[in-house]
Amino acid sequence: MVVNKTWHPQEIFSIDDLHSREAGMFFTGDGKNISVLMAIKMCFRIWKFPPGTILAEKPLTSVSIETLTECVVFMISREDFEMWIAQDIHLLRLVVHKIAYKLYHSSHNRDARLFYPPTFLFLYYMLKFAPAHNIEKKGEIILQKTREGIREELGMTVKTINRTIAKLKEDGLIDSRKGKVVMSQEQYQMARPRSGITYRDVRKRMKKEIFEISGITCLAYEEKKPEYLIIQPINEPHAQMLARQVSFMINNTEKGFLLIAFLVKNWNHDLSPWSAPAVFGKESFGDSAEKTWSFIKEELIPEAVKRYKLENDGSRKPVLSVILGGYSLAGLFSLWSAYRQDISISAAAAMSPSVWFPGWLEYMKDKKIQVKNVYLSLGDREEKTRNEMMSRVGDCIRKMDEWYRKNEKIESVLEWNQGNHFQDVDVRCGKGFVWCMENLKCKS
């Protein structure tokens, strides 16, 4: 059953108007009489239909579209569409291919917008635009696009685009003429080495390994000549974003590093310095941080020294400076480790750490910190929570920052990020480790 509806220019139409609980597919035409087969082709070209909702077994899709010219909407019922893809393997493969293609590119573009600075994204855009418009022959190219047009292609705000253009002009990499961006051949040659690192270059620069130590899974990213050994406790969700964290790090520092992350089996138990009652849900906190620290000191570091040939005197101790860091409770664990007398780390990076933990402030004021550098960070919305215990995190981390500046002879910083506790975890971790590397003098 195919139904149609005429859209008029500037009319906003939602799938909900066609009862999207029953809609299996919809697509648009140009107002002319077109066949169903032609409409299907247009459907895949325009890509505004909800078969992904059906494959995901979700009951409802809601998408709003604003029309620019009068057109016709066709709809196939959900029942008919489900029957169609069940009986026609060729259509099913076509649908899956189109969904996978869109997800692949949207994921890549999202990563680029999240983990690369605006200057890189704009330069990368210009470096693709310039040769396509014969800059070698013309001597210069003019980007004949409005700020709004650039915004649509790069996914930045107009304000960010204007700020980025001003910065690149200041660096002498572009010019402007009558409001349009201009790049000369000389600027093009200058910009090429400044354009940053692509994902393919990341894979070439870093060697990834997965191995086990005493049944604990470790994920390692190694450069050929690392200056720092970074150790990071992670959970399963963080393991999925670790590659993006590493991408951020190598695009924001020239320092070489070997990062070894290990999967924590029982988060609340293995990273807690002492027992504490549950603050959300029913799971309380254990007291196995001591065992986790012993694993790092007695097994992980010696294995890293042996596997990556980090020693130069035959000992089991690395010649590199060691940075221990983590997120949330792993951040608290890293801070607790920084007070150990049997210290084997030089810096601690605590991103959005659980410093609300009962008894933590009293502990840190009673002990002497053993590391040279401490990085602290927190999201500006993390303390705005209804959980009474966790809402203390902002006050606690401010007191820590003040204590370190007044009472400890170390270099420390407190950086505030936008968002709540679950926002931009990999970027925040990358920023913390980069700060430590940039501010810590390496041994070698």
Residue 58 has pLDDT above 60, yes or no: yes
Residue 23 has pLDDT above 60, yes or no: no
Q: Residue 167 — very low, low, confident or very high, per pLDDT cuts 50/70/90?
A: confident
Average pLDDT over residues 174-184: 92
Alpha-carbon gap, residue 429 to 336, rounded angstroms: 18
Q: Residue 7 — very low, low, confident or very high, per pLDDT cuts 50/70/90?
A: very low
Q: What is the pLDDT of residue 28?
A: 42
Q: Which of 110-114, 123-127, 340-344, 415-419 has the lowest mean pLDDT?
A: 110-114
Average pLDDT over residues 414-430: 91
Nearest alpha carbon to residue 234 among 194, 270, 186, 180: 270
Nearest alpha carbon to residue 417 among 375, 374, 376, 377: 377
Residue 185 has pLDDT above 50, yes or no: yes
Alpha-carbon gap, residue 326 to 332, rounded angstroms: 8
Written as one letter, the residue type at 317 is K
Average pLDDT over residues 121-142: 87
Residue 36 has pLDDT above 50, yes or no: no
Q: Residue 52 — very low, low, confident or very high, per pLDDT cuts 50/70/90?
A: low
Neighbours of 181 (CB within 10 A): 23
Neighbour order of strands in the sheet with 140-143: 140-143, 180-184, 175-177
Q: Which of 183-197, 285-299, 350-364, 388-402 has the lowest mean pLDDT?
A: 183-197
Residue 194 has pLDDT above 70, yes or no: no
Average pLDDT over residues 31-58: 48
Q: Which of 66-70, 91-95, 324-328 has the lowest mean pLDDT?
A: 66-70
Alpha-carbon gap, residue 156 to 117, rounded angstroms: 11
Residue 352 has pLDDT above 80, yes or no: yes
Q: What is the pLDDT of residue 279?
A: 87
More reliable by pLDDT, 114 or 70: 70
End-to-end, the C-alpha distance of the chain in Å comes to: 73
Q: Residue 9 — very low, low, confident or very high, per pLDDT cuts 50/70/90?
A: very low
How does strand 411-417 pair with strand 373-379? parallel
Residue 209 has pLDDT above 80, yes or no: yes
Q: What is the pLDDT of residue 81?
A: 76
Residue 203 has pLDDT above 50, yes or no: yes
Average pLDDT over residues 282-307: 94
Residue 92 has pLDDT above 80, yes or no: yes
Alpha-carbon gap, residue 120 to 382, rounded angstroms: 30
Written as one letter, the residue type at 76 is I
Percent of the chain with pLDDT over 70: 74
Q: What is the pLDDT of residue 32?
A: 38
Average pLDDT, the chain: 80
- Cβ-proximal residues to 372 (8 Å cutoff; 6+ apart), any chain: 346, 347, 410, 411, 440
How does strand 71-77 pair with strand 2-7? antiparallel
More reliable by pLDDT, 90 or 234: 234
Residue 65 has pLDDT above 60, yes or no: no
Q: What is the pLDDT of residue 259?
A: 97
Alpha-carbon gap, residue 42 to 30, rounded angstroms: 10
Q: What is the pLDDT of residue 273?
A: 96
What is the pTM assigned to this prediction? 0.59
Average pLDDT over residues 14-28: 40
